[in-house]
Structure 1
């Protein structure tokens, strides 16, 4: 005659199964979080005043790392890129490959047309006419008088772009979409 396992034995086995299921769920959650963090979205801490008044020192933004795997950056997008010295910068794309850029008397022109920049509150130093090379973008901070950008660094290679800043998520009272 077969004997059924005792109640305590069934309880122990159910407890082991439950613990195993919880461990599996935890491992899956960690793996998914790492995949999302390293391949899709990454938080970025804004440091410094170069993007004021759009972004402030201490803001946290969510950077979309996937978007430029499928298309090139567009004018006006805020991007994070690796600058010399392996430091990440956040700036706005002003011109893309094959564009001509110049600035005179606080007016920035791309391909001979002045661009509307409602996000800029400070003046812009003059920039001599130059063509953005293929595979590069020309970036500037919104706080032009306090920004280290393409005027100093030169055009930025597209392969150095980490991603597009999409959302300001901290502080919560500044939560907004950037595009």
Structure 2
């Protein structure tokens, strides 16, 4: 009887160890939850939302314009921002309008925020890459990112953040998994 209990106990230990290993592999290499801190991505993402980061393939592919990505700034800090400029792009904002390589782009994800704005000023103030970062185009292997809450976002316009190297991008996110009232599966 004791031998059977010992065997059953060992089977449970093996099952738990296997489950922990699978969970570790999934979190490390495939998907991981990230807590949104701050209001820089409002109204798309709110403070304390939890999102799922898709880590599959970011080292092997390039990212698309307007993807929402999680950036590892340092060991303790991740930023969640939207890719606006791809390598080689010339970015400019004029009269609250985005221009990429001289072409006007719409940003429908900002419409709600612009409607809720209390004043009549611009959501995104006029700028060029050269004004903020001393470059005319986004360098090869880098991205230019902005938060959706343009007035308060600490993003690529700040020289301390600057252009984001591809290696610092953990992955993309398109799933809000918590709180329940914010669950969304394609908010881009």
What TM-score comes out, normalization by structure 2 length? Answer: 0.85
Mapped to 2, the partners of 1:168 and 1:177 lie a distance apart of: 7
Contact 1:80/1:88 (<8 A) preserved:
yes
SS in 1 for 2:65: coil
- Correspondence list, 1:105-144, <5 A: 105-120=95-110, 121-122=113-114, 123-129=123-129, 130-144=136-150
Mapped to 1, the partners of 2:76 and 2:154 lie a distance apart of: 15
What TM-score comes out, normalization by structure 1 length? Answer: 0.89
What is the CA-CA distance between 1:149 and the residue it aligns to?
0.4
- Corresponding residue of 1:7: none
Q: Unpaired segments of 5 or more residues in structure 1?
A: 1-10
Q: Unpaired segments of 5 or more residues in structure 2?
A: 115-122, 130-135
Mapped to 2, the partners of 1:86 and 1:159 lie a distance apart of: 16
- Correspondence list, 1:20-35, <5 A: 20-35=10-25
- CA deviation profile, 1:14-42 (whole Å, cap 9, x unmatched): 22211111110000000111111111111
Mapped to 2, the partners of 1:12 and 1:176 lie a distance apart of: 51
Number of aligned positions between the proteins: 169
- CA deviation profile, 1:37-72 (whole Å, cap 9, x unmatched): 111111111011110000000000011112312211
Higher strand fraction (1 or 2)? 1
- 2:75 matched to 1:67? no
- Corresponding residue of 2:117: none
**Root mean square deviation, CA, Å:** 1.5
- Correspondence list, 1:8-157, <5 A: 11-83=1-73, 87-120=77-110, 121-122=113-114, 123-129=123-129, 130-152=136-158, 153-157=161-165
Mapped to 1, the partners of 2:90 and 2:174 lie a distance apart of: 26
Structure number with greater Rg is 1
Mapped to 1, the partners of 2:95 and 2:48 lie a distance apart of: 32
Between the two structures, name the one with larger relative contact order (CA 8 Å, sep ≥ 6): 2
- 2:148 matched to 1:158? no
Distance 1:85 1:14, change over 3 A: closer
